[in-house]
Amino acid sequence: MIRRAALLFLAALLPLLAGAGQAQAVGYRYWSFWEQDGTAWTYATQGPSLARPSDGDVHGFRFSVSEDSGDAAKPRGTADFGTICAGTPAKDGTKRVALVIDFGTPADAPSGETPPAGRTACAQVAEDASTAEALAAVAKPLRYDSNALLCAISGYPEKGCGEQVAAERSAPAPAEPDQAESDGSGPSLGLVAGLAVVVLLGAAAIWQARRRV
């Protein structure tokens, strides 16, 4: 009975050792929406169809894969309103909205597609226009899904909309290269050591139980 319990105890640890090196992280491939505050980008708290920018505002869009707004990639570049709208003079009854459109990296692109080069544009639109209307004025064609989620800007990507993307995350490598040899698919050295301690404690407990029998 004691030997059987020991075997069961050790067998229960095998899944931990086998799966400790990798984990699945689920992200989403989509266009994120940003507002520029000075020189910093802030993730927008409302969608582009609801946002009503003022003359002189800078809004940005970035296509990437992220798990949530906390790790979403920001639009790249340092262009400000003065730079983007330098050639667009103010006009009564309209407003100017500077837009930064970042199509992302090849790593974030759907299979078979290549992201276009990022660009900026100055949209001159009606005073009550939304950011979505400003975007439509300078970056058609746009594509939305049935829930009004922005799926494509200037036709990119050609298909897909907010789909899930699973990415493997390997355990971190040992601190010193000579401490362990690994192809990156096995458990980390620290985790193995910790589990070894657990095994030893379990074995000690079993030995103590045998002494009392």
Summarize the confidence of residues 95-105 as an average pLDDT: 98
Distances 13 to 10, 20, 157, 166 between C-alpha atoms, Å: 5, 11, 45, 26
Q: What is the mean pLDDT of the chain?
A: 79
pTM: 0.69
- Which value, to the nearest 10 degrees, does the dihedral of the CA atoms of residues 69, 70, 73, 74 take? 80
Rg of the chain on CA atoms, in Å:
27
Selected residue with higher pLDDT from 168 and 85: 85
Q: How many CB atoms lie within 10 A of CB 31?
A: 24
pLDDT in tens, 184-201: 444 444 444 444 444 444
Pairing mode, strands 94-102 and 119-126: antiparallel
pLDDT band at 25 (very low <50, low <70, confident <90, very high): low
Asked if pLDDT for residue 8 goes beyond 70, the answer is no
Longest dimension (CA), the chain: 95
pLDDT of residue 117: 97
More confident residue, 8 or 88: 88
